[in-house]
Amino acid sequence: MTLLAVDNLTLAFGGLNVLSQVSFTVEPGQIFAIIGPNGAGKTSILNCIGGFYRAQQGRIFFDDQDITNISPDRRAAMGLARTFQNIALFRGMTVLDNIKLGRHAHLKTGLLSSLLYWGAAQREEMELRREVEESIIDFLEIEHIRNQPVASLAYGLQKRVELARALAMRPKVLLMDEPVAGMNAEETEDMARFILDIKEERDVTIVMIEHDMNMIMDISDQVVVVNFGQKIAEGNPRQVQSHPEVVKAYLGEKRER
């Protein structure tokens, strides 16, 4: 089965080719990693999948539907969630309120009932709060900071809150852009554990960009390597690690003296 498919994705900004005929498929339950040197086009792939960029050529399929021309908010409602390399939280709001915002795409009550906060809107709010508190906050071990403003938190905890907000969207596929960038060894180990638990316990498929090769090789099921906007290798971590094109992209060609 294929849950997500990228088919001949080509993206350019003016005269600059960012992606050139990139294709791959992601199966349900995988941790699927996209790696490559800086500027290789990795984040552009995620931006195309999420709908933030519109590719000039190629198609994207999600859960047996062509989503190439579907808006980002509709993709989110279908089950595509995203975390960002640069934290995108509301810093003046509490942890709990930031997480609850992740559910907006699935709310069913109208504007009037929400403003008056009665009936269905009140019940929906209480159900959401219960799920966030009993499931997501406990799952990510952030009960002790639930009522703190995000701005007061250390960087590693802010990254965890952003992950919690993405999980509140009830995703089928979670797109993660450098989830452990800037973290120390302990924080990186915790995040790797959470990613594995999200896959196993919450049945969420992960598509991840990351520069920490140790983590990628430890937890990924499948890896795609891009360089200068082109896919140069794909396989399991062991296959990719020894692929000559990958070694060349990361280490450069040896020159005889």
Give tens-digit pLDDT for 113-148: 444 444 566 666 667 667 777 788 999 999 999 899
Strands (E), 27-90: 31-35, 57-62, 65-66, 80-83
Instruction: For residue range 52-75, list pLDDT tens digits in order.
Output: 999 999 999 999 999 999 999 899
Is the CA virtual torsion 183, 185, 186, 188 positive or negative?
A: positive
In sequence order, the 6+-apart residues with CB closer than 8 A to the CB of 206 are 30, 31, 32, 173, 174, 176, 195, 198, 199
| pLDDT one-digit tens code per residue, 94-115 | 998 888 887 665 555 444 444 4
- How many Cα atoms occupy the beta-carbon half-sphere of 76 within 13 Å? 21
DSSP result, 93-110: SBHHHHHHGGGGGG--S-
pLDDT given at position 115: 45
pLDDT of residue 70: 95
Q: Mean pLDDT in the chain?
A: 87
The first and second tokens of residue 30, run together, are 């995988």
Q: Decide if pLDDT at 40 tops 50.
A: yes
DSSP reduced 3-state for 155? helix
Q: What is the pLDDT of residues 217-230, one digit of tens each?
A: 999 999 999 999 99
Q: Which of 40, 157, 172 is nearest to 87 (CA)?
A: 157
pTM: 0.87
Closest CA to 209 of 84, 119, 102, 100: 84
3-state DSSP call for residue 57?
strand
